[in-house]
Structure 1
Amino acid sequence: MDNSKTEDLNFLLQYIKEQIDKLPITQSKKDKMLEKLLMVHQMTIDAREPRIALVGRRGSGKSSLINALYGSEKQYVSSIKSGTGRGKWLWFPSEDDKKIRLLDSRGLGESEKPTEEFNESNPMDEMKRTVSEELPDVFLFLIKAKETDARIEEDLNELKDLREYVKDEFNYDVPVICVVTQVDEVDPPHYKQVPLDKNVKKAKNIQDAVVLMEKRFEEHEIPLLSTIPVCSYIDFDEDGNIDYDMRWNIDRLANYLIESLPNEAKLKAAKATRVISVKKKFALSIVGIIASISGGIGTQPIPVADLPFITALQGLMVVIIAFIAGKEINTKIAAEFIAALGINIGVAFLVREGVRAAVKFIPGGGNIVSGTVAGGVTFGLGLAAIAYFIEEEDIETSKELLKKGKRKYNEDNSAE
């Protein structure tokens, strides 16, 4: 986020922390709320671009996969060609539009000697040097479905060596996701309909490739987060809009990818993806955290849990959801969205005077809100914001989701 957004968010987070400290609840409950608030801080103020290391031989589908996940046609082009270095950090989609940090390699096990000079004495040392410059958050090991029975022992041995180097030197155990690519090419090759596993024979062959790769990783003692078969085939028109889409399992991969990232890299990874279901899932996790904090004030009405505290939480949540959706938004627009839904919790004051003035407005008494009401309204508002900003539904649909969300929260928490 830019500096102005960060400043507002930082102010909101600090204000919320101060109010949690004042709540007349047990210290253990405060600690749980503050722990959740820290997660939000890591995901917003500390947010950075994810660092993804791509490992796979030439032709394994790295460019296609990244485009299917995050970009459009020809935005990502590998600089690692025959005769060049073993690995380079690149910005995707470009130096002028920095969304994701990618470490691209020609394939750890490829033995031909590059013509480009190395800074180190051998290719593996060069790769370690590159990894040391920017630690990857996750390794994506790509292998074509029809090549899972090919000789890849050297690749896996060097991947293991690289992971152990990072763990020994930097005390970080880099997670690995094995991506079995181009599964549309397995027998029967004529079956190209999504979902690809609807064909019994193709489904079996895809699963056989997955099982084989899991066996290979186990033999090389490399822990796997998951092995995911995918088809990344997608075409775009001249304006960058999807023209033909045969993607399969990309949403599943994106979910695993984001879940594997550190908190500070999750937000921008979710924003960058083209997969709406992934944006929605990550936004729901934010809603759950914020609603939990809001509802954590207790089941009994507590005067100190006043309107600006709840307003600050809700405004923070809406701004984050809008950011995930890729919208340009500020706290004033977030407040106007809340007001448009008919939620009247100090919102008019927030719109008129701004966040900083609003949180200083402490009612002398009354305006008491219970934890159940606060949590329910916040959860419903979160669902409404996801519908409006991420799914691009109209305001009336968002209002209905606000009501459904409040009911669901109350039902889920009534037995507690």
Structure 2
Amino acid sequence: MPAARFLRGPGWRRLVDAVLNPEPDPAVAETIAERAREQAPVLWLLGKVQSGKTSIVRAITGAERAEIGSGFKACTRRSQLYEFPPQAPVVRFLDTRGLGEVDYDPTEDLAVLEGHAHAVVAVVRAMDPQQRALVDVLRDVRRRHPDWTVVLVQTCLHEGYPDERDHPQHAELTTAPGLDDLRRALETQARDFRALPGSGAVHTVAVDLTRQEEGFTDPDYGLDALLDALDDACFRGHATLIRDIASHARDARLAQVHPHLLGYATAAGVSDLVPVVGFVTVPTLQGKMLHSVAVLYGVAWNRRTLREFLASLGSGTALGIGASFTARQLAKLIPVYGQLAGAAAAGLASAAVTYALGRAACYYLEQVRLGQRDPEGVADTYRGALKEAYELFRRRQRATADRDPTQP
């Protein structure tokens, strides 16, 4: 079988071992998470209890409320961090609990955020005028970091609707009849937050993220405007990331799989920026990704199915991946070029190839789950995803360079 040739290479052996190893090495798992974490933007959620912070997390990630609740881990005395997905995070949420109930000092949370791309997301119920505690905290934050962007998210709009009416067209929210009280409340809140000190932008977004059973025709009312505001909030090198995650959250299976692919691909790209290190870590990352995807599809890899999958890619494709990967590692050893252009090219290629492998694996595993075989479809999926991934990660690489000229 042609697949046997490339399964004997050292890089592919690492990949195969990582796929077939049912007990992940904790040190390796943490390294993978840390590599992805280095690039994951942080959304700092500030607001009272029941203001709608969890609904925002759910709308972006597609995760269920219970999954979100169990995923938050304490990181300071007053706040918790939620990483999505935990194996290879692509976005992180810092949630400050109980704002307004007791005095809150943001010093510890500011220390967590230092050095990360971020946006401060202030979440308020539209009809709740008591936001003094939140404004005071944000005033303190902006005095220390005057350039930080604040996204004011005004939630639970339906509490200001008369009777049992449905949402108006979003463009008509400020003109629809019968909503005078709601409009005054929104305008008053926006005015208070726009008065924050500092030069950073203050984006204001009105949303109503509800459950289907609540009966509103649009349970994600205002979500598109929120995603635009978050993507505009100066994420370093992560243009359109939040919208990209949320767009896949509408599909149940992609909602589970897509963030894993992004996380592992990002981690592979970061690992491959370092000479020699990527030669060991990238195949391992790819193997762990394939193992993770198989778990989500409920299909176990074995040597037969793994060989069949790799053979579906075509021996030329698989051998080309291995050969170009080795060449990229050698190029990174060239003085000056390897440290800059070579490393950047290697990181871009490893991220794109990892993502494309994951997408092709998804197609293959779905066919296996249905009792079907489509080798041409696997190869076509890989090629299409590779092109898509190069565009995605190249765009982010350019965004990083535009904001930080010292980056390659």
- TM-score, length-scaled by structure 1: 0.47
Higher RCO structure (Cα 8 Å, ≥6 apart): 2
- TM-score, length-scaled by structure 2: 0.48
